[in-house]
């Protein structure tokens, strides 16, 4: 007698000799080798939901800033955060089972090992970005969900953060921690209302051009903008690169990754000096700002800049609300954060900095340990997280003056404006606009807060990246032996020198980051450290 799980796995066989890995962003590769993975992710999602007593979990079909021919899939936990690490291993093993029968055996093995009652309900929220392969992969996923007897809600096209939002809303509905209404309209109403409250009558200075990477963020921003009429808010937005009719245009010569990597505006940009611009990535979970200065020079305001801007604003609000002795703010960075940004946070803002390994899940976990944790990767992916204790303090505090009351109301509005489940480009740029309006700053004033140290990032192709092991949040190599002292010796030769090497998470390469007092010195240091790495394990 046939079994529905065996049948589903048989319908979507894996390509021969292809090995899949659940990386920091889930499974991500060429779309044409993902059918089997999506079916099996459906099985894993059902198991995860049952393990959590039928709570809603999420599945997002996206490859973010990758080229149009790629796609991917990731799983989302009930509160909207990323899949628990031990389940990444389960996902990887399930994806690599060799036969339909092996898939069924592994499904039951996990149920047994995890004490999962397979008679319990399983509930899964599903969405996808605008890639051409998305519809086919959704069909593969649904085959897996149906085979495992899971109930599912398909939201169609969403940004990745909107999917995270839906999951969190569905799991908190009807509780005192209700996060919002789990619909698109609920999302737009929550964040637009919070923006108006946070602005409190202030108007942004000048318009904002938003490049949507020809991805799902384009139509969703156009929808959100209907809830933020410029007559009412003063927020004038020009949306560019929002062509989702041509999926092959996704992330091509536009988007946050293009701007950050190439240190230039998209070729389509027609803005003048001083005009504020920002770029989202393909699934709208990252945002970077930039502008041309008076001399027409491109200036990037990346994730480091957004983190320092937001942290300084929250510092001001906590202090002026009368809560400084009850709430402590911290900033979480990776080793890729510019040394000048770290210095500014520690010395000017006098806030503590925590450094974690690269990957949003590490930053998110570190931020959760703080009263208010602000984290952004340099690539523009980040958010701020408020602990339960902090939310209670802010909610129950009785202001001692009208000024405290006003600042407290802004702080409360900002809590609602932030998508605390995950980095969200749409809510993040509204937060940035709020801070700039409160400070009465344009992009030049924001840039003037500190001067980035010149830096260089190089990629060294190696035979085996796995021999490169790190410690101290990936800032020091422990293996191969003897490499780190050589790097340290080189760093000491340069003014304000800093450099580290770490294995890439996605390819057989080692990434070398270096910064120093001048551009020439940063490039020289990066080259010398690359030579050391090449000698140790290069081709």
Q: Which residues are catalytic?
A: 64
304 is in an annotated binding site: no
455 is in an annotated binding site: no
506 is in an annotated binding site: yes
What number of other Cβ atoms are within 10 A of residue 481's Cβ?
9
The span from the CA of 161 to the CA of 152, in Å, is: 18
200 is in an annotated binding site: no
Angle of CA points 145, 151, 152, to nearest 5°? 75
339 is in an annotated binding site: no
The tokens for 254 are 């536009």
The tokens for 250 are 């996704």
All residues at 6 or more sequence positions from 54 whose CB lies less than 8 Å from its CB, including other chains: 120, 121, 122, 123
The span from the CA of 95 to the CA of 145, in Å, is: 15
The span from the CA of 168 to the CA of 37, in Å, is: 25
The span from the CA of 439 to the CA of 316, in Å, is: 10
378 is in an annotated binding site: yes
101 is in an annotated binding site: no
384 is in an annotated binding site: no
DSSP string, 98-164: SSHHHHHHHHHHHHHHTT--TTS--EEEEEE-S-TTHHHHHHHHHHHHHHTT-EEEEEEE--HHHHH
Q: Are 209 and 269 in contact (CB under 8 A)?
A: yes
Q: Is 536 left (phi over 0), alpha (psi -120 to 50) or beta?
A: alpha
All residues at 6 or more sequence positions from 204 whose CB lies less than 8 Å from its CB, including other chains: 234, 235, 236, 433, 436, 437
Q: Tokens 């808010």 correspond to what residue? A: 233
379 is in an annotated binding site: yes
286 is in an annotated binding site: no
What number of other Cβ atoms are within 10 A of residue 30's Cβ?
15
Question: How far is CA 110 from each of CA 20, 44, 87, 375, rounded to the nearest angstrom?
Answer: 18, 9, 10, 34
504 is in an annotated binding site: yes
Q: Per the annotation, where are the binding residues for Mg(2+)?
A: 64, 281, 283, 285
Q: Per the annotation, where are the binding residues for substrate?
A: 377-379, 502-506, 511
Q: Per the annotation, where are the binding residues?
A: 64, 281, 283, 285, 377-379, 502-506, 511
């Amino acid at each position: 007698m046939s079994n529905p799980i065996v049948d589903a796995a048989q319908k979507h066989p894996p390509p021969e000799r292809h090995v899949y890995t659940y990386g920091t962003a889930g499974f991500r590769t060429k779309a044409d080798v993902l059918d089997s993975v999506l079916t099996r992710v459906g099985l894993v999602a059902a198991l995860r939901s049952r393990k959590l007593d039928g709570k809603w979990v999420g599945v997002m079909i996206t490859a973010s800033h990758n080229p149009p021919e790629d796609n991917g899939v990731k799983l989302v936990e009930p509160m909207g955060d990323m899949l628990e690490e031990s389940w990444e291993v389960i996902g990887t093993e399930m994806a690599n089972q060799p036969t339909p029968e092996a898939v069924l055996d592994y499904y039951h093995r996990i149920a047994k090992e995890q004490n999962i009652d397979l008679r319990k309900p399983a509930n899964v929220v599903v969405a996808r970005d605008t890639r051409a392969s998305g519809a086919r992969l959704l069909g593969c996923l649904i085959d897996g969900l149906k085979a495992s007897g899971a109930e599912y809600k398909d939201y169609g096209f969403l940004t990745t953060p909107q999917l995270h939002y839906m999951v969190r809303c569905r799991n908190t509905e009807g509780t005192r921690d209700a996060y919002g209404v789990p619909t698109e309209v609920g999302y737009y109403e929550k964040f637009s209302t919070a923006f108006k409250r946070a602005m409190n009558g202030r108007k942004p200075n000048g318009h904002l051009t938003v490049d949507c990477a020809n991805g799902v963020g384009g139509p969703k921003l156009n929808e959100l903008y209907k809830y933020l009429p410029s007559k009412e808010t003063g927020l004038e937005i020009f949306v560019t690169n929002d062509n989702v009719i041509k999926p092959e245009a996704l992330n091509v010569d536009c988007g946050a990754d293009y701007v950050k990597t190439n240190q230039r505006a998209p070729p389509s940009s027609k803005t003048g000096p001083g005009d504020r611009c920002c770029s989202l990535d393909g699934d709208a979970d990252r945002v970077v700002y930039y502008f041309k200065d008076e001399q027409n020079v491109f200036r990037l305001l990346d994730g480091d800049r957004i983190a320092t801007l937001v942290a300084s604003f929250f510092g001001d609000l906590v202090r002026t609300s009368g809560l400084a002795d009850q709430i402590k703010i911290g900033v979480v960075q990776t080793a890729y954060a510019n040394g000048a940004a770290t210095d500014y946070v520690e010395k000017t803002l006098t806030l503590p900095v925590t450094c974690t390994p690269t990957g949003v899940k590490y930053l998110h976990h570190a931020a959760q340990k703080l009263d208010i944790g602000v984290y952004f990767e340099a690539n523009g992916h980040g958010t701020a997280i408020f602990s339960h204790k902090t939310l209670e303090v802010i909610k129950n505090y009785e202001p001692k003056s009208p000024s405290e009351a006003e600042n407290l109301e802004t702080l409360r509005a900002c809590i609602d404006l932030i998508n605390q489940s995950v980095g969200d480009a749409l809510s993040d740029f509204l937060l940035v606009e709020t801070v700039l309006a409160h400070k009465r700053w344009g992009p030049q004033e924001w840039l003037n807060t500190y001067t980035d140290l010149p830096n260089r990032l190089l990629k060294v192709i190696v035979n085996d990246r796995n021999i490169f092991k790190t410690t101290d949040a990936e800032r020091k190599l422990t293996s191969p032996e003897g490499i780190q002292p050589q790097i340290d010796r080189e760093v000491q030769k340069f003014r304000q020198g800093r450099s580290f090497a770490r294995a890439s998470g996605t390819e057989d390469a080692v990434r070398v980051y270096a910064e120093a007092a001048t551009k020439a010195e940063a490039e020289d240091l990066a080259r010398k450290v690359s030579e050391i790495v090449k000698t140790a394990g290069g081709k």
